[in-house]
Structure 1
Amino acid sequence: MQVISIVQTKGGSGKTTAAMLLASAALDAGRRVTLIDGDVNAQLGRWRDSFELSAWEGVTRPAWPEALTILSPPDTVDGLLGLLEAEEASGTDLVILDTRPGTHADTEDFCLISDLVLIPARPVFAEWEMTHRAVLWMDDLRASIASGERFPEVRVLVIDAGPKIIDAATREGGMAALPKRDQDVLLEILRLDHLDVIVPHSKILEQFGFHGPLGPAAAANACAPGGRLMAGAIKRQLEVARLLLAGIDEVVPR
């Protein structure tokens, strides 16, 4: 069973979006997924409610996947360890812990029992300080662990990237289209340990609460009159999610 904690020092950084993307890809791959929402705004914890309450406007809403469970975190580390043991015994393949913003001791507990810490990074100047702070926080946490003790892998995920950012990262000469400050930020991010996949900005991701997991949403829209364009857009995001999961599997094999 893989255990992933998603951390950032500020809210609105893409933590919940990253969790939903990973859950969508894992479900699509036939895996059982449990999401644990430790964030203060509980957006991930309300995902199913948002999905169930949304008006689908001519599209037959799919059933919520039985292989996806959303829980609140226990109050203690021992309780969390017990929960993870129970999840593994029940056949869960992937546990994702969404954490609250800031550098909190309970978030460090989540990290220390994880296989991977994922740090979402929006590649713009205004967000760079927070990403840098999160990376330094993980470095300090690693330094506090006794030599030889297990520590999770840490990777940065570039998320919510516009076309110019993607061109700059993937196409020769693309960097010139960015403002100098954004060039510097992107180069700094890419110098860190990061996943190769870049998550592009998308209206689909802004409406994740409405759509629910991407696979069932794509299938439902594909069956609806006039739903092919929406189905295609959701499928493109699902492909990004698959690439993200593949990158995770390379870092922490199942």
Structure 2
Amino acid sequence: MQTMAEIGLPSTFTSGGLASMVASTQACRFEVAEFFVSWQGVLTVAYTGFPDALLELKSQVADFYPGLVKEFPGSKWPKTSIACLRDNKRLSREDLEKLRDICSKENSYLTSTTPLVEVNQLSIVLFANCCLEQTLCQTDVSLALPASTAGPNSEHCASVRAVLDEFRRENLDNYYFNASKDGNRTAHYRGFKAGVTLVHFLTSIPRALARFRERVERELPNMYDWFADRTLHITVRAIL
């Protein structure tokens, strides 16, 4: 695969600018929180929050590119999207309850087998679809060592926790409106769309994911399309 420099994108995305800011960012890690059903029924692995080093990087990127689009809500809290509803599928209230049960039963196995995700590298990706299964070029940038072992700050953790708490059992009646919305189906993720994003690709796939997939397919057969393991990632910031 070509790098961004080889394809002719501006040096602010490669040797300087964004790549330079990434290279100056301290390596860090995410703490795994839980399986989470996001808006439009997207299945995710959620994390407790962005480490301070990555929050600072996000601020630097926004300052360096004043014309950058406003950050999307979905990247303000860290997650790995693992599956989307198939085209023309919609969650029922009963479906959402089933997913809540599956997540509750699988969360302890997830956090016990994959408590942390080490982040030693970020990738600047020119993609051809939103799930990154089709990419045009990629520049990988190593983060600065030694790695930080600090968790996310308490204020940020609280804001992320507020998002995740919307999926608590006692809140499902209200949350169902957002979980059942149209959009973000297979065509959205796998149809052609070009852009640039800054991500961390998972270097190992959580063991709990296979068991989670199996339970979802058993309880909700043929509802979900699962993203390829090789493309699973945490979005730090959309760029273009």
- TM-score with structure 1 setting the length: 0.23
Q: Which protein is richer in helix relative to its size?
A: 1
- Flag the structure with higher strand content: 2
User: TM-score, normalised to structure 2's length?
Assistant: 0.24
